[in-house]
Structure 1
Amino acid sequence: MRGAAVAAVLVGALALTACSSDGGSDDDASATPSTTAASGVASTGSATGGTSSASAAASPELEGSWLATADGKAVALIVTGTQAALFVTGGTVCSGTAGEEAGMQMIHLTCTSGSKDRTTGMVGSVDAKSLEVTWSGTVGKETYTKAEGGQLPSGLPTAGLSQ
């Protein structure tokens, strides 16, 4: 049953992200993807007191849907171009940007709940199957597994996920 709940969260997150694309170039708004259908979310620049957004597009390896578990909750991070979205079971919805800054891949997010746990992340490593991000908030280092074609990746720990 818990696997079904995780799958439902992922499918919902992917569906909402796919529906949020407006096709326009809204770079001035810090590329706010309806991350998890977060309409009305403030841009990263204004909501975080002037945090700069990523200046260049994210590396092709960074793009896609990434999954992790933290404190018994599913975490989905989705990167498309310079747009980034993060969803955590329990209702956390964040949106912002991803891209290169000063030679590093960075992620800047603003969460609708006001959470500061995952506002600025530095990509430590990324390949076809895994992504490591160190968040400046209380979360610290988090390792994600790539989800392909809307499917949960094999080996994703789902035991103990709260609903």
Structure 2
Amino acid sequence: MRTATVAAGLVGALAALTALTGCSGGGGDGDGTAASATPSATTASASPSGSAAVTGAAGKLQGSWITTSGGKIVALVITGKKAGLFVTGRKAWCQGAAGEESGMQMIHLTCPDGNKDRVTGMVDAVDAKGMTVTWSGKTGKETYTKAEGGKLPSALPTKAKQ
């Protein structure tokens, strides 16, 4: 029963992140009301290190990605240049940009609660089923599984060994 409750909550979180990042199943533009009701995010801008700006996410980064870390579920949603991240048990989600930067696929997030665990991530590998990201914060390397059609994957990965 507890797993079903967590799963239902995560599906709701994915829906909220999808709305936040502007992704919709109907392909419409949306009116932007979901994004305007939430804190402002840093979008395609220069990274903190001063390197080139994020220019757009490659097709393989697009979608909803799930992992577990410290007993919590982490959902990362990437749509176009926008990225959103939700961790169960935290009240706020993080927003930002994802895309190519200096020849690498990068993710830059800002969290309204000041959390720095997943601020800058470099995509090490990505395919149709999974993605590995190395975060500059204390999180380190994480492996995500792609969630298709708003459904949770059959098995959630755990934090990758470093």
TM-score of the superposition, structure 1-length normalised?
0.78
Displacement of 1:42:
4.0
Residue by residue over 1:59-109, the C-alpha shift from the partner in whole angstroms, topping out at 9 and shown as x without a partner, is: 111100000000000000000010000000012410000000011000000
Q: Which amino acid aligns with 1:77?
A: L
* In 2, Cα distance between equivalents of 1:53 and 1:95: 19
1:85-138: CA deviation from partner (whole Å, max 9, x where unpaired)? 000001241000000001100000001110000000000000011100000000
**Matched-pair contact (CA < 8 Å) for 1:53–1:108:** no
Number of matched residues?
148
Identity %: 59
Counterpart of 1:117? 117
5+ residue gaps in structure 2?
A: 23-27
Highest relative contact order (Cα 8 Å, sep 6+), 1 or 2? 1
Runs of 4+ in 1 over 4 A off after TM superposition: 48-54
Corresponding residue for residue 144 of structure 1: 144
| Deviation at residue 157 of structure 1 after TM alignment | 5.7
Give the match for residue 12 of structure 1. Answer: 12
Structure 1, unmatched stretches of 5+, are 27-32, 159-163
How much has 1:152 moved relative to structure 2? 1.0
- Paired residue for 2:65? 66
User: 2:3 aligns to what?
Assistant: 3
Match runs of 1:67-86 below 5 Å? 67-86=66-85
Q: Cα deviation per residue 1:136-156 (whole Å; 9 max; x = unaligned)?
A: 000000000000111111122
- Does the C-alpha gap of structure 1 residues 5 and 50 become closer, same or farther in structure 2, counting only changes over 3 Å? farther
Matched letter for residue 152 of structure 1: L
